[in-house]
Amino acid sequence: MNSSPAQIEQILVANTKNEIKELLPDMPVEHRLIPFFIVHEFETLLFSDTEILADGLNIRKERIDDVIIQFSGDLERINNSRETAPSKRLEQWFPSYKKTVTGIPIAERIGVDQMRNSVPLFDAWLKAIENAAGSEAL
């Protein structure tokens, strides 16, 4: 199956909501449950700013650009196998890469706005949370 990240996420969300409805039929979870399945790894978000990522890993920016070009700029498709997943690529380029020690400081430098601009599923999930929070405030 060669589904897009959006299709995979849509199926997982629908199935999760249906399962919750079956398990908790009397609970009004529809508007309170906003599942998010990161079809890609956290590290995909780091690819949203190649200059900051390259600087954080102390590598040439072109190495990152080559990966992005390989996936036609669609960062959510980078996670195409266990060997070439974003975290594995980062570990190849920077052997001491650790999600919490290396990745989080890079993510903080990139910022959520840039990640949202580059990763549509992540942005859509945050918008759903914002909309739900806004409607609860009314």
Q: What is the pTM of this model?
A: 0.73
Backbone dihedral angles phi then psi of residue 59, each to the nearest 5 degrees: -130, 170
Give the pLDDT of residue 5: 67
Q: How far is C-alpha 72 from the chain's CA centre?
A: 17
Mean pLDDT of 119-132: 86
Asked if residues 44 and 86 have their Cβ atoms less than 8 Å apart, the reply is yes
Distance CA 118, CA 10 (A): 19
Mean pLDDT of 44-73: 95
pLDDT band of 90, cuts 50, 70, 90: very high
Q: Which domain holds residue 26?
A: 5-137
Asked if residues 21 and 29 have their Cβ atoms less than 8 Å apart, the reply is yes
Whether 61 has a pLDDT exceeding 60, the answer reads yes
Q: How far is C-alpha 111 from the chain's CA centre?
A: 13
Task: Give the count of domains, the chain.
Answer: 1
